[in-house]
Structure 1
Amino acid sequence: MYNIDRTEEFDSSVALLVDIFKLKNKTIVESCRKTFIALFGSDYTTDLMTAAVFQLAATDADTCHWTLHTFYELDACLKLIEGVFEFAIQKLIGLGFILGRDFSANANGELLLNRVAKIALLENISDADWNFLKEILQVIE
């Protein structure tokens, strides 16, 4: 039997998930997710899926977008979007913008920004961060 450590197992599983997400076939992704849950448990599977979506954000924006929209209700996607939302708010405050004046949030979980705040935010984040943020941003003129 092969003897691989937990890090190799995790990395291999994430690579497999990335390849499966790239197929953009919801049935196959669901089948793989259920198999991983049976093998590794729900929490570990959520961690794997989260890592895979992060990797997609950095390498394949189109598949990342498809994944976030297709599997929006999954814990992995919900946690990612929540984390990105908090990241954006902290970044904006750190850049000197004021909640309620320069940006706010709505009941749909969207971050509402004026144009100046959006430009400043875009200038101070990575492309991978932008792939997540564009899912929750709305620019208010």
Structure 2
Amino acid sequence: MMGQSAGRETKRDMKRDTSEQERKQKGENKVGQAFTYEAAGQTLVIHLPREIDHHNCTILKNETDLLLAENYITRLVFDFTRTEFMDSSGIGVLLGRYKQMKGSAGTVAYYGAGRQVKRILAIGGIAGIVKGYDTKEAAMEGRPERREPCRK
């Protein structure tokens, strides 16, 4: 039993090393292409890169899955403030994390999405199931935001 447990930890460590190597090989440390994680209590915030496409979605999915598996996260928040482009593989990653969080009674939110990203989220069906916010604080807390009425 001890040998099996140690083997699992080694595989997990190797997976992390592989992700870092993949990121370096794909040039994702260039400005605007890296994504970062921030944890606050049981909330995990993922700061997304300028472009979310098939080139970086595998790394995003694998690292997020690893963080969710190793930590007790009840709220997952995606930060789109830097994101200018997202394709269908990005929708797939978001939908997969939504299903994963829903299965463990967690919630998912996003904030900072620009007009183009909001359009993609709407087309992909994400906007109908994941709550969007204007600010990080509101997204982390899940509180409704007070908005000014539209003026004609």
Common fold: TM-score over 0.5: no
TM-score bracket for this pair, using the shorter chain length? 0.3 to 0.5
Q: What TM-score does the superposition give when structure 2 sets the normalisation length? A: 0.31
Greater relative contact order structure (CA < 8 Å, 6+ sep) = 1
Structure with greater strand share of residues: 2
